[in-house]
Structure 1
Amino acid sequence: MSSISCEVEHLRIKTYGIWLHMVEQGAGPLVLLLHGFPEFWYSWRHQIAFLAKHGYHVVAPDLRGCGDSDAPLSPTSYSVVHLVGDLISILDHFSEQQAFIVGHDWGAVAGWFLCLLRPDRVKGFVSLSVPYFQRDPNTKLIESYRQVFGDGFYICQFQEPGRAERAFARYDYLTVMKKFLLITKTDILIAPLGMEIIDYLETSSLLPPWITEEELQVYADKFQESGFTGPLNYYRAMDLCLCNAVHLSEILNDRNWELLAAWQGTKVKVPAKFIAGDKDIGFESTREYVTGDIFKQLVPNLEVVILDGHHFIQQERAQEVSEEILCFLRKVSLDSVSSQV
């Protein structure tokens, strides 16, 4: 790995039932960095060093199912309640009542849920790429996605256990990483009829300036060790509204839906900042929502920043994202001190 990875401390902690691996660096207020798909803690390598240098205790876990953390085999172990429970366990391990949370992709989903279910544990939240959507009790999006987009939609293809794993296995791990991490498409990821999404994604022959072959190999080596089933189980344990409940089966769906019903209509009131790349597929499909009034009504204390870039913005625009995060952390801390005076 790069020299950055050699400077972090590795540790494992026990949550309720599984072991989570994470890295840490620095001292000061706690900041949790939550990665997305297909990633592990290494996706935050730039922000770890930057924030630690500026006086923060930075902790970047491998989320359950990813990297060197335990990977339960059943998708039922990847519900939103499990994800929030893992984050609470991390805060408890470090004896911190509150922490700053930064999440990208699936890490952003986990962060929004933490803000919704346990706002008392969050000082402030920075979401990269994934905004907050209000829970809709009448929408089961996996079914609607199949009706609207068909089987070629990547989320639909990820639902069947083993299907994506078999398709990925036709390529070496480095190629799979290049197909996902270097994606430049801005349209919805729908493979043509009869084609798997991994076959539809292009393999870039030229690397962009923000990532090296060595760094891509770090990803490839880790996924060769851990496999893809754990990360894919996030998709298999969802009725994706980015803040909705599990839709693995009717029984499981009903149980989680009932648990989350108590938060129906609840706003996210913790200070929050949303950062996205203007060429991110997700942003392209939610541009009107993100830049309009509804998002800010649901998250009253919200700042929105749109940068020139794609989905993996914390790597592509590492310095800018790091500075945006630091600016937010300092602002929230200053506001907190001012409110106590």
Structure 2
Amino acid sequence: MSEIKHARVEANGLSFALSTAGDAGPLVVLCHGFPELAYSWRHQLPALAAAGFRAVAPDMRGYGGTRGPNSVDRYSVFELVGDIVAIVQALGEREAIIVGHDWGAAVAWQAALIRPDMFKAVCAMSVPFQPRRPGKLPIDSYRKITAEKGLGEFYIVAFQDEGRVEAEFEVDVERTMRAVFGGIAEEGREADRWSLYAKPGEPLLQLHNPRPLPAWISEREFAVFVDAFRANGFRRPIHWYRNIDRNWLLSAPWQDASIGVPALFITGSRDPVRGFAGAAERALAEFVPDLRGSVVIEGAGHWVQQEAAAEVNEALLGFLKGL
């Protein structure tokens, strides 16, 4: 397997930390989600390089080695897409294939939607494409739905309160990250599962006892994430969530628009995102007419490219080789 190297590139007014593998071939840019790092793609970068691709994963705006601005409004999805456009150009390329997981999937879908001239294909993991629909602002809609169902406070709504959630998360970063990575319970550990909803007065992430890490991540790998969030905190990454309403307002020109480039969707059968985005997943083919596959990896949870690396690599490389 090809070695993962590290570099920096100046793009869109920021200095991005990059993890790279492969020096030639079609460019593949991999965008991580929350709360992750370019390191989340450690299993995919060498596999892509070995298959003849030039693979690049940035620490996204506000994460890890990429310091981002303090202002909330500097984290709209359009700035995030602009970051990837500028990275492609800074690498001397005119086009790329974009891959994303979680929030990175939202960036990937949006990049393919508004810059199909540059992003010739898209692979998204965990988060399906959700076309802009007319109606209420998304956060108001989340509040109404959860109130009607008596579910408690949805985590995306809680994230809107600047300062509150990051303070909770930063009290004990290791504990927080164990809750995040381990809280999507493996088989036989359903009692450890944490909810995406919090009851009044309860912390968002509940972790009653220290738990062993899931089998898919070692203590050494886990320490990479803990060290990064200890150093930089959670505020800038959570700013991405604080732009959800702003993104909806700014995306009016693309209402009901479709993704025109070849696409692949990958998710885990146990991914909790399917609980509130299942309708969008089922409707993918309607708004992604060149959908080449929708792969559900049995037994995998939300951190699918880390949990089921071999299966994800097989699906991703099959898609890329078929373009």
TM-score by length of 2: 0.90
Query: Which residue pairs with 1:157 in the alignment?
Result: 158
Q: 1:203 to 1:129 in 2, by over 3 A?
A: farther
RMSD: 2.0
Amino acid aligned to 2:6: H
Kept after mapping to 1: 8 A contact 2:181/2:214: no
Kept after mapping to 1: 8 A contact 2:77/2:107: yes
Query: Which residue pairs with 2:320 in the alignment?
Result: 329
Query: Which residue pairs with 2:11 in the alignment?
Result: 15
Cα distance in structure 2, aligned partners of 1:138 and 1:64:
29
For structure 2, the 5+ residue unaligned runs are 186-192
Query: Which residue pairs with 1:316 in the alignment?
Result: 307
Q: Deviations over 1:71-100 (max 9, x none)?
A: 211110001110111011011112222111
Cα distance in structure 2, aligned partners of 1:205 and 1:16:
40
Kept after mapping to 2: 8 A contact 1:98/1:122: yes
For structure 1, the 5+ residue unaligned runs are 240-244, 247-255, 333-341
Cα distance in structure 2, aligned partners of 1:15 and 1:331:
31
Q: 1:101 to 1:12 in 2, by over 3 A?
A: same
Q: 1:250-289 maps to which residues of 2 (within 5 A)? A: 257=249, 259-289=250-280
Aligned counterpart in structure 1 of residue 231 of structure 2, from 222, 225, 228:
225
Deviation at 1:182, TM superposition (A): 1.8
Q: Deviations over 1:150-194 (max 9, x none)?
A: 5622111111111012111332x2221111112226886101221
Cα distance in structure 2, aligned partners of 1:176 and 1:54:
36
Cα distance in structure 2, aligned partners of 1:182 and 1:202:
12
TM-score by length of 1: 0.86
Deviation at 1:277, TM superposition (A): 0.5
**SS at 2:224's partner residue?**
helix
Kept after mapping to 2: 8 A contact 1:130/1:282: yes
Q: Percent identity?
A: 39
Amino acid aligned to 1:179: A
Query: Which residue pairs with 1:85 in the alignment?
Result: 82
Moved more, 279-288 or 17-26: 279-288
Query: Which residue pairs with 1:337 in the alignment?
Result: none
Deviation at 1:119, TM superposition (A): 0.7
Deviation at 1:143, TM superposition (A): 1.2
Alignment coverage as a number of residue pairs: 309
Kept after mapping to 1: 8 A contact 2:133/2:256: no
Q: Does 1:142 align with 2:148?
A: no
Q: 1:1-341 maps to which residues of 2 (within 5 A)? A: 7-26=3-22, 27-149=24-146, 152-171=153-172, 173-184=173-184, 189-198=196-205, 200-201=206-207, 205-239=211-245, 245-246=246-247, 257=249, 259-291=250-282, 294-302=283-291, 303-308=293-298, 309-332=300-323
